[in-house]
Chain A
Amino acid sequence: MTARTVAVQRPSLLRRLVQENSPIRRLDGLMLVAVAGLCVIGTLLVWSCTRTWAPGSTGLVKKHLLNEAIGVVLCAMVATVDHRAMRAYAPLVFVVSLVGLALVITPLGATINGSHSWILLGGGFAVQPSEFAKVGLLLVIAMLLAQPAEGADRPRGLDVILAILAAVLTMGLVMLQPDLGTAMVLAVITAAGLVLGGVRKRVIVGLVVAAALGIFSVFYFQLLEPYQVARFTAFVDPSVDPRGVGYNATQSLIAIGSGQLLGKGLLGGGQTTGRFVPEQHTDFIFTVAGEEFGFLGSAAVVVLLGVVLVRGLRIARRCEDRFGTLVAGTIVCWFAFQTFVNVGMTIGIMPITGLPLPFVSYGGTATFANLMAVGLLQAIKVRGQSFL
């Protein structure tokens, strides 16, 4: 009874947190539930497809859980920061992420699974700076484009040029690894920032033409690695080489398709157990969901991701400052692109690209970056709108 009396006199921390209009109350709960659900499903799927690596092991589950825990802490930390203050830090974050990318190219970089995009931290841990670079680029573009010209509803030309320069610099460093998937995400982030930032339509059209020319020249001058070209060829016609490049596409379709309506149950997927789909814990994690949880389960994963996207859009729309709106909208574009490309490639409507599925795939840095982005969205939600 004594404690209660004290509480009435001076609201406890708990009470302050849960009271009307408290920061906690203003969090987007639905999005958090969806993210949590995806994380749980991701953990189960990682368990299912990595436990077979060694008899009696739990595979990468423990490490994945650790990654998620760290990610949640990062998410909470980011969520407590006022996003408007973050605007000031944006250049710093960007420069740090550039330095990270540059380090990858130095002898400090390491190659894991054929991708030279890692910096080893020791103790079995490694980071992938390109994941952080997404956040860094996103923030700096939002910062630049959120300051409109005097009396206008669109960014200044200089800022646009600066934003494009920042993007080209980041993408250039990523392409040196080379990591086409991440470069494409960065391009999407840049495009989203430009479009949502209110850049003129003719500028957008011009950029699209420039990008198209760029892509054309990439193919024309054969700047892509042969395996990357092969992936596109295999996407257009998977029967070209079913044992080679078409193998991934075919096997992931078989795994998902054989799940049918209800799936084979967790750990019950023969294709997963037999490890027929490569990179099943990272880029092809969705095939495990498809096989073991069936249409209902895999559609649920898509719906949960959809919830995150739609709630993110809602945050963007309701945010009252340009920076918040831009950050939130860009994050949604990033997630949407990765979701669509990742799920799409497993079901044969997108070419095979090395992109993880947000919140579900195994991978520390990606988990950190994704959850930090969620933290950003929450920060914007908490402080971006006035409540009356």
Chain B
Amino acid sequence: MIRMRTRLLVLHVLVLALLVVLVGRLYQVQVVHGQEFVTRATETRTRTVIVPAVRGQILDSSGRPLVRNRTALVVSVDRARLSRTPDGGAMVLTKLSQVLGRPTQELQRKITPCGPRVPKPCWTGSPYQPVPLDEKVDTREALQILERQEEFPGVTAEIHSVRQYPGGRAGAQMLGYLQPVTEEELEKREGLKAAFSGVDLAGRDGLEYVYDDALRGKAGLRRVQVDRMGKALGVEEQVTPVPGDHLVTSIDSRIQAVTEKALDKAMKSAPSADGGAAVVLDARSGRVAALASQPNYDPEIWGGGISARGYQWLMSEKSGKPLVSRAINGQFAPGSTFKVSSVTAMLRAGYPLSGSYNCSGSVNVGGRAFNNFRGQSLGMMNLHTALVKSCDSIFYRAAYEQYLKDGGRYPKKNPKEVFANTARAFGFGRPTGVDLPGESAGRIPDRAWKKSLWNQTSAVNCERSRKGYPEVKDRARAEFLKRLALENCTEGFLLRPGDSANFSIGQGDVLVTPMQLARAYMALVGDGKLRSPRIGWAQVRPDGKVVRTIPVPVVGKLPLSEKERLYIRSALSQVTKDGTAAGAFAGFPMDKVRIGGKTGTAEVWGKQDTSWFASFAPAGNPQYVVVVMVSQGGFGAQTAAPAAREIYEGIYGIKRPEAVPGGRITTRLPAFRPDGTVVPR
């Protein structure tokens, strides 16, 4: 018994020691490290679901929606859940393809995350977020999925809001489109950064891109408590989303519709036309009233994740790359519309405004004859007539004289380059700063540009000058190309006399965008100030409060006095009466509203001419500036001018109901009721 008692005592001590160990360890786990485990528990126990904010609408100047939201049933797939099924989700996708009536392969591709070797369509969002597969699901299909969840693990059907475009194709490039936000983009955003989901959309182009911050709103968050199987048990935390602000634009959807129609007609009237643009500006405010580009596309194609065929079509040569806005990215030689810059350059170079100039049939420029249009000689005339009749030789001569003054081929130090610098003052050669992304700068081919071009191309040219063009079949042509290569190799860095002459009439290497030309004309016929045109007018909260009005910045001033401006304007006002556009405007009631403008026909080597018409109305007190460009459209008077005429007819209600009352542009922001709806005018 004594031994037993002793050993019991040892046991007693042992038991107490074990109890102390247990309690000590419990203290360590629960009290000392408790907080860490609370965090880990929250991680395992909850799933954070992002509740996207309703994106603001894009409205026209009267509050009509250009882009609005419609609610849609969206079928989404949770890849993580899918991959946990025995066959990696193949079964589920097969069944889903039967319900949705889409090929399994397409669904598979849509849920595959984008990578270096994964072609579109692929999933650009987070791999952990449900991938929206189909946004055009009807209730019957959604119910089939929701009622048989056990057959469709990881597949959900939810109500989402999807962008809708009441104007159809109108202004598609300007409005832009949405795509799931990428992780990098999200990094740059403020606020809910941890909440990268991929269900969030980001504006990818156009106004959706530029005003993304305002339109987006703030996503909400739902922290849902889940069990081990991922079944939702309840909501633990909820942050309601803040809807995005509306963007009121200065676009008038009625003028936009008229413009789209006119451009479409112009494109169809020119058999080989491969692109076109029309810009309508409010000459008094500097805002954009309509902006059209052809070819265009239906932006609804982006909804629900773009299909492979849809994306390939958008990117193909066959569709004419409708994503590219010809209004801001189409760079073409401006032709005679450019003469407003050249006449200004002449004035700045000292040629008198009231002088008389010889519109001869041809001008000898550096030993080469530069002919007037069809070699016609029109005799002595003033600058007014030179613009109305679009005489070339007067500008050739002036440009060549200024070229020689700068030192000709081998310029003196700091040449004045008055024609190039005036063009710059008109805003050419740099983006206008319109509130659209990716605008092109155009090109002013001055001496510096020649040099930089030569630096890039001389190696090729010099090689070609030795080896020639054996692949060119036509021997004469090959010989010509070889000589050209030699010339470019040896003196390609020099501005040749012909370059300067071509430049003065908007031919050769000079490139402008329709938007650049429109804002140059707006400054010319308006107050002489160069502005960055604006499409966005005001940012309005969903409850109707105006958050901010978007100003139109003044970025420069034309080098013209008021007298000179009015002189040029009145000359342009004659063009539609007895100038180059007289035919196009024959029968137009000029007594009702007088149109001023300038045609342009720019030669493009190997292609049809670029057809231009830059115009304004009413000529006496301009309200609108309309620029129409049709690539490969032929003469300016033939294609672009009639389109501009049709736009004016639409605006002023000639031979048809007027698009805007009295042809007057909306100058007042639309009024909103507290519920966010627009008060009709």
Contact = CB atoms under 8 A, between A and B. Distances in A.
B4 A256 contact: no
A270 B12 contact: no
A224 interface: no
Contact of B38 (A251, A253, A260, A329): A260
B554 interface: no
A340 B22 contact: yes
Interface string B198-238: 00000000000000000000000000011110000100000
A31 to B, nearest CB: 14
A208 to B, nearest CB: 15
A197 B1 CA distance: 9
Of the four ranges (under 10, 10 to 19, 20 to 34, 35 or more), the interface on chain A belongs to 35 or more
8 contacts: A153-B3, A276-B44, A295-B31, A303-B19, A310-B16, A325-B4, A326-B4, A347-B25
Given A261-B34, A339-B22, 12 more contacts: A153-B1, A253-B37, A257-B33, A261-B30, A271-B44, A302-B26, A303-B19, A310-B12, A313-B8, A325-B1, A333-B11, A339-B18
Interface in A28-79: 52
A275 B227 contact: yes
A303 B24 CA distance: 12
B308 interface: no
A317 interface: yes
B449 interface: no
A196 B226 contact: no
Given A274-B45, A302-B23, A322-B1, A313 B12 contact: yes
Nearest to B10: A195
A274 B225 contact: yes
Contacts of A325: 1, 4, 8
Contacts of B33: 257
B2 interface: yes
B26 A254 contact: no
Nearest to B36: A257
B26 A347 contact: yes
A153 B5 CA distance: 11
A332 B23 contact: no
B226 A274 contact: yes
Given A276-B44, A299-B23, A347-B29, A257 B34 contact: yes
A283 to B, nearest CB: 16
Nearest to B236: A270
B93 to A, nearest CB: 25
B15 interface: yes
Nearest to B9: A317
Given A274-B225, A302-B22, A295 B12 contact: no
B44 A256 contact: no
List 6 tightest A-B contacts by C-beta distance, closest first. A257-B37, A260-B34, A258-B41, A274-B227, A295-B30, A198-B3
Contact of A310 (B15, B21, B227): B15
Contacts of A258: 34, 37-38, 40-41
Contacts of B29: 253, 256-257, 290, 347-348
A343 interface: yes
B45 A309 contact: no
Contacts of A197: 4
A274 B11 contact: no
Interface in A261-320: 261, 270-271, 273-276, 290, 294-295, 298-299, 302-303, 305-306, 309-310, 313, 316-317
A88 to B, nearest CB: 21
A313 B19 CA distance: 14
A254 B1 contact: no
Tell me which of B8, B26, B227 has the highest count of chain A C-beta atoms within 10 A of its own C-beta.
B26
B228 A276 contact: yes
Nearest to A145: B4
Contact of B41 (A254, A261, A316, A339): A254
Contacts of B35: 260
B230 to A, nearest CB: 10
B18 A298 contact: no
A366 interface: no
Interface string B23-59: 1011101110111111011001110000000000000
B7 interface: yes
A70 B351 CA distance: 119
Tell me which of A257, A326, A336, A349 has the highest count of chain B C-beta atoms within 10 A of its own C-beta.
A257
A354 interface: no
Contact of A273 (B5, B19, B40, B233): B233
Contacts of A136: none
- Consensus secondary structure, chain A interface: helix
A255 B15 contact: no
Contact of B26 (A195, A290, A317, A332): A290
Contacts of B5: 317
Contact of A196 (B11, B27, B37, B44): B11
A275 B227 CA distance: 6
Given A309-B15, A340-B18, A260 B30 contact: yes
Contacts of A254: 37, 40-41, 44
Nearest to B14: A336
A43 to B, nearest CB: 22
A351 interface: no
Nearest to A312: B15
Contacts of A333: 11
A197 B18 CA distance: 22
Interface string B259-300: 000000000000000000000000000000000000000000
Interface string B587-603: 00000000000000000
B15 A313 contact: yes
Tell me which of B1, B8, B33, B227 has the highest count of chain A C-beta atoms within 10 A of its own C-beta.
B8
Contacts of A192: 11
A256 B37 contact: yes
A270 B1 contact: no
B38 A257 contact: yes
B228 A275 contact: yes
B8 A336 contact: no
A344 interface: yes
A54 to B, nearest CB: 13
B8 A317 contact: yes
A251 B9 CA distance: 37
Contacts of B9: 317
A336 B18 contact: yes
Contact of B22 (A154, A196, A313, A343): A343
A313 B23 CA distance: 20
B4 A349 contact: no
A302 B24 CA distance: 11
Contacts of B225: 270, 273-274
A210 B30 CA distance: 39
Interface string A220-256: 0000000000000000000000000000000101111
Contacts of B2: 153
Interface in B547-562: none
Contacts of A154: 3
A364 interface: no
A298 B26 contact: yes
A273 B229 CA distance: 12
A260 B31 contact: yes
A358 interface: no
Contact of A306 (B1, B7, B19): B19
Tell me which of B11, B16, B41 has the highest count of chain A C-beta atoms within 10 A of its own C-beta.
B41
A302 B29 CA distance: 15
A363 interface: no
A205 B16 CA distance: 24
Interface string A324-345: 0110010011001001100110
Interface in A148-168: 153-154
Contact of B11 (A273, A294, A332, A339): A332
B37 A313 contact: no
Contacts of A310: 12, 15-16
B25 A195 contact: no
Contacts of B4: 153, 196-198, 322, 325-326, 329
Contacts of A195: 7
